[in-house]
Amino acid sequence: MTGSGVTYAQGFTAAGVACGIKKKGGLDLAVVKCDVRARAAGIFTRNIVKGHSLRLARKNVRNGYAQLVVINSGCANACLGPRGDADALEMARLAANRFGVRQGDVLPGSTGVIGVPLPLDKIAAGLDEAILSRSGGADAARAIMTTDTVPKEAQADVTIGGRTVRIGGMAKGSGMIHPNMATLISVLTTDAAISVSALRQALREAAAVSYNRISVDGDTSVCDKVLILASGLAGNDVIEPGTEEYARFTAALKDVCIRLAKMLAADGEGATKLLTIQVKNARSARDAHLIASAIAKSPLCKTAAFGNDANWGRLLTAAGYSGARFNPEKVDIWIGSVKVCENGGGLPFDEEAALRELKQREVTYTLDFADGTASDTMWTCDFSLDYVKINADYRT
């Protein structure tokens, strides 16, 4: 039997239960367990303020092994001083006891409102209630949601040394803007046999082209994290860095992560469409990334997208203040397939055709700088009235 998302790969079971942390009800506690002690790696927020659950997960994954992931939504367990650290430890202890794993092999996570203590009694009751199963991936994906409107799961197969290796994952968070509530959390699982160093490197490479390409404010919340567990049950020879097998595995992992990242961007708070910002022929990779990031973060570009306004001047302006070096008189810009700017100057373009492009659920802006060979891609969403409504009274 095959599950979905985090239970797609062999050796993983999961559950999602409603234990009453979320005020409005709904699933709010996710557990993912590996049948064996798994190789594990994680990437954690660079925010100087770090959630207490996240800090413990970072500590516990440092030795390269883990067996259980437990994540609650509805409460971030952040900015609570020593109590927050103690609560994270207690959450890990409860989960370890309930599911018979070593406490140091538990990776806890929390997402939700900052500054409110974890309701440990509810979490204990929820853990008691949680029944892990191969089909539990879908519930787990729902249980980590905060302002997400749909759960996000993806999976892929890759043949390595004649064996089918499976990779799956789930994610939550807003593609719009991350910090705080819109924490990005992703849990990935695989049955690949892979060394810890290869797993760490593959996760870094995959995150660089996926989760790090939707961080539209360059912001990281205090609880952002991406975890991966590898059960090794696929039976392939252990993957080591720098090998062809490593390349195949990493390509498949990137595929899963990019699909999850695009789902996050498309489900950004209040989003009505997914925006792809494509930068071509920039002077350097750094310049390309600065430009793509500036556009992906610009409220003016994003509100124009919401209004179906072919306002390419805002794209060029954002590129101009991005800090990137380029020659403004060599820039060409397309909205979808409609060229709207050539050599930095406006073209008389078909407004109707541009409007048709802008009304799609997915819109691509392409900027060609004719200044080098570097490229970059970012995903974001438009900035709608609903975004403001959602965020004006999140806490209350």
Among 23, 59, 359, 389, binds a copy of itself (CB under 8 A): 389
- Two structure tokens written together for 337: 């397939």
The answer to whether residue 275 forms part of the interface with a copy of itself (CB under 8 A) is no
- Closest distance of CB 373 from a copy of itself, Å: 20
Q: Answer yes or no: are the C-beta atoms of 239 and 195 closer than 8 Å.
A: yes
The answer to whether residue 119 forms part of the interface with a copy of itself (CB under 8 A) is no
Among 114, 132, 138, 194, binds a copy of itself (CB under 8 A): 114
- The size of the interface with a copy of itself (CB under 8 A), counted in residues, is 66
Looking at beta carbons only, is 37 or 58 nearer to a copy of itself? 58
The answer to whether residue 343 forms part of the interface with a copy of itself (CB under 8 A) is yes
Which one of the listed residues 111, 183, 276, 377 is annotated catalytic?
Answer: 183
The answer to whether residue 218 forms part of the interface with a copy of itself (CB under 8 A) is yes
The answer to whether residue 396 forms part of the interface with a copy of itself (CB under 8 A) is yes
- Closest distance of CB 351 from a copy of itself, Å: 9
Among 195, 303, 364, 375, binds a copy of itself (CB under 8 A): 303
The answer to whether residue 76 forms part of the interface with a copy of itself (CB under 8 A) is yes
183 is catalytic: yes
Beta bridge partners, 381, equal 274
- Closest distance of CB 245 from a copy of itself, Å: 37
The answer to whether residue 388 forms part of the interface with a copy of itself (CB under 8 A) is yes
Here's the x/- map for a copy of itself, 316-335, by CB under 8 A: it reads as xxxxxx--xxx-xx------
Residue 107 corresponds to which amino acid? L
Neighbours of 204 (CB within 10 A): 14
Interface of this chain with a copy of itself, residues 175 to 194, rule: CB under 8 A: 177, 179-182
Near a copy of itself by CB under 8 A, which window of 9-17, 45-53, 144-152, 274-282? 45-53
| Catalytic site positions | 183
